[in-house]
Structure 1
Amino acid sequence: MWIEPVTAGAGMLQEMQALAADAAAIQPAASTDEPQVSGAAPADFGSYLSTAINSVNQQQLDASSNQRAIETGESTDMVGTMVSIQKASLSFSALVQTRNKVMSGLDDVMNMGL
């Protein structure tokens, strides 16, 4: 088994630094789902969580209204209704999994011995 010396990775380090500089120069496009923050202050986790909950709630409401429209005969868009129901279901599942991960991380932090 051959192990390369540390000095052999110098070229890779320079390439990674160049890629990091390129990535820092690119500004991401503004998304409508993310909360808008003024100035250089980062958005807190609570605002992201609130935005996610509101988005999931809106998808649930849209799916419910589409389903009601199908049931009452106001709409015949069965495919669109099924897609909106599946989107709402997946969004809710992702939100629950995120909550579970956050709670698990919080439990781990609380159980740490200092």
Structure 2
Amino acid sequence: MANEFAGLIKADLAALNNAAAELAQHASAIAPAANFTGQPPGNHFSFAQSMQDAIAGVNAQDVDAGQKMADVDAGRSDDLVGAMLASQEASLSFQMLMQVRNKVMGAVDELIKLPL
């Protein structure tokens, strides 16, 4: 189930990257000399890398929670409370990631609607 969600998120991330590249092309056509990031040219922030890191972190939490639950189910561990907390933490992390994704997709849609 986590792999299905990760695939969906990666597809959305690819769509966001394509939309960001399209917006960057339009921005460079409008103001090619402007530096919108305020950072030196060689030191750029990568939104795509940040999202990939967040997805990897949420996936790691999900895998860890699944392992703890499997250990409790198999009798290898008696830390039911820890397993439940890890499961809830992974669930909340995923929900937060989905909310960030929804907000970013909404913002990209609004940017695309702006007139040039």
Question: Which residues in structure 2 correspond to 1:15-94 (within 5 Å)?
Answer: 41-94=43-96
The alignment yields a C-alpha RMSD, in angstroms, of 1.2
Give the aligned residue type for 2:105: M
1:46 offset after TM fit, Å?
Answer: 1.1
More helix by share: 2
* Same amino acid, percent of matched pairs: 39
Structure 2 letter corresponding to 1:48: S
Distance in 2, matches of 1:68 and 1:43, equals: 39
Structure 1: 4+ residue segments shifted above 4 A: none
Once residues 46 and 76 of structure 2 are traced to their aligned partners in structure 1, the CA distance between those partners, rounded to angstroms, is 42
Q: Distance in 2 between matches of 1:65 and 1:113?
A: 50
Q: Distance in 2 between matches of 1:58 and 1:49?
A: 14
CA distance in 2, matches of 1:89, 1:107: 27
| AA in 2 matched with 1:83 | L
Q: TM-score, normalised by structure 1?
A: 0.62
1:42 Cα offset (Å): 3.5
Provide the secondary structure at the position in 1 that maps to 2:115. coil
Q: Which has the higher contact order (CA 8 A, sep 6+)?
A: 2
Unmatched 5+ residue regions in structure 1? 1-39
Distance in 1 (CA, whole Å) between partners of 2:89 and 2:45 is: 26
